[in-house]
Amino acid sequence: MADNTSNTNVVLYKRKGHFNIGMVLFGIIFVYLVSTVFIYLTTPRTTAYEVRMGSILNDTAYTGMAVRQETVAAAEQSGYVNYYSAEKAKAKVGTKIYVVSSAALEENPEPSSSDEEGSKKLTSDQQNYFGMLVQSFSDNFSDEMFADVYSFKDSIRSSISSISSANKETYLNQMLTNGTGGGLMVFTAPDDGIVVYNTDGYEGIAKEDVTADMFNKADYSVSEFYNNMQVSAGEPVYKLVTSEDWTLVVPLSEETAQILQEENKKSIRVRFKKDNEILIAGLSIVEKDGQHFAYLSFSSSMIRYANERFLDVELIIEDQSGLKIPKSALTKKSFYTVPLEYMTQGAGSNEKGVMRQKEGTPEFLATTVYYSDENNAYLDPEVLAEGDVLLKPESNMTYIVGERKDIEGVFNINKGYAVFKQIKILCESDDYYIVESGNDYGLANYDRIALDSKNIKENDIIIQ
């Protein structure tokens, strides 16, 4: 019988590998992205600061005591006082100041309802004036000085009374003309001066007599004068400030006194907090019983503060303008100093540099001048080396490089890498410097610098 079984040999062929270009590209891109993210996360960042023009004001706040040439006028007879002049008005000899009557006078009669000019409403200027008074009192008020409330009340009352002085003068003159004043007696100014309707007991004091105890206002009081006030003969009724020259005595801290004395200042700018007026005062400093006092002498603006004894002021010790940079940007770099006469220019180019003698042969070496003063140029130590021999142009004289000096600067990052720029500091505050502008080797307005110079070297690529 035939065998139908057939032998079949099965041969297995190895499948050829298939190259997937897409997977390779994906892998490359993935590795690139991971590397980029890693580098981004691990690379230190540099924060940029844009340089702008600015100023630093170095001032100190104090309270000063005003010393003036003042004369207190006493009532020549008893009765009720009414005033012609507004407070802080200028009066010449013979000007009517006040009248005395045997009885209190009626207030100005009400204007007729048909008189549109007779409104008693405050004008906008008067409203602003009272608003300024209230704001100033509120800003300087403290619970410890509650007694100032009463002085403030008297001051407001006196100011309100003074507002109607023009109408009051007309009213009093009519009464004198008509003989309806009940025996009005008129009294005039004995001298030229500024009329003030208060006294505080310091009217005759000299600046040399001012002591530290006088600035304790717990026992300080002011007597205000107002219309229809009853007085006895011999009592004060007003005072005249008879000179435009006046002095503000200011007790200084030890630190401020030392600064002013070291700078040997003979004058100083003073800002008055009441109205932000800035005046230039003559300055002298004395020490009494361990306390330094500044005598600030003025020859103008007395009338602005004639009715105030104590004034809050700021002494402007320094007010400097220039380019404003943060202190954290400051760094230092050491440079070789080379006499300016050894600087030259490359043949056929505008590059600055020096002629260096190398193996007996002179060669021109271009180098950046980072700064120059009257005598020397400051050159990069990475271009020159200690011991290099420089040749003076058109001369046989030589200079051996060796002396180095540090200069202050910042890193300019306008071009994406760090470039050292020299600065000259004019003044400083707690956080900023004011540096010189317009320097050929320094910064310009709107330059971008590294906010923090730590861990930055010149020519570093800056990643922000």
Percentage of the chain beyond pLDDT 90 is: 42
Distance CA 448, CA 253 (A): 40
369 pLDDT higher than 50: yes
Amino acid, res. 364: F
Q: What is the pLDDT of residue 296?
A: 96
Complete DSSP assignment for 280-308: EEEEEEEEETTEEEEEEEESS-GGGGTT-
What confidence category does residue 113 fall into, taking pLDDT thresholds of 50, 70 and 90?
very low
Q: What string of DSSP letters covers 428-450?
A: E-SSEEEE-SS-TTS--TT-EEE
| Crossing angle of helices 124-140 and 148-163, rounded to 10° | 170
CA distance 64 to 309: 8
Tell me which amino acid residue 80 is: Y
What pLDDT does residue 147 have?
A: 58
At residue 351 the predicted structure's pLDDT band, cuts being 50, 70 and 90, is confident
In a 10 Å sphere around its CB, with 0-12 CB exposed, 13-18 middle and 19+ buried, how is residue 448 labelled? middle
Q: What is the pLDDT of residues 387-442, one digit of tens each?
A: 999 999 888 899 999 999 999 999 999 998 999 999 999 888 888 999 998 888 88
Q: How many other C-beta atoms can be found within 10 angstroms of the C-beta atom of residue 375?
A: 10
As a whole number, mean pLDDT of residues 26-53 equals: 83
Classify residue 89 as exposed, middle or buried by CB count within 10 Å of its CB (0-12, 13-18, 19+): middle
**pLDDT given for residue 104 in this prediction:** 83
Residue 356 has pLDDT above 60, yes or no: yes
Sequence-ordered list of residues with C-beta below 8 angstroms from that of 147, at least 6 positions apart, any chain: 217, 218, 221
- Enter the tokens of residue 79: 């009765």
- Residues paired with residue 434 on neighbouring β-strands, in sequence order: 324, 427
How far, in Å, CA of 332 to CA of 422, rounded? 9
Here the tokens at position 220 are 């300080």
pLDDT band of 461, cuts 50, 70, 90:
confident
By residue count, the chain amounts to 464
Of 223, 254, 255, nearest in space to 237 by CA:
223
Most confident of 56-70, 154-168, 328-342: 328-342
Q: Where are the domains of the chain?
A: 62-105+124-317, 331-422
Which whole number is the average pLDDT over 250-265?
Answer: 89
Lowest mean pLDDT among 107-116, 288-297, 424-433: 107-116
Tell me the one-letter amino acid at 379.
L
Predicted confidence (pLDDT) at residue 265 exceeds the cutoff of 60: yes
Decide: 247 and 67 in contact? Cβ < 8 Å: yes
> Could you tell me which residue, 143 or 323, shows the higher pLDDT?
323
The average confidence (pLDDT) of the chain is 84
| Nearest one of 29, 9, 53 to 325, comparing CA atoms | 53
Q: Tell whether the torsion through CA atoms of 405, 409, 410 and 412 is positive or negative.
A: negative
Distance between alpha carbon 429 and the CA centroid of its chain, in Å? 10
Distance CA 120, CA 143 (A): 35
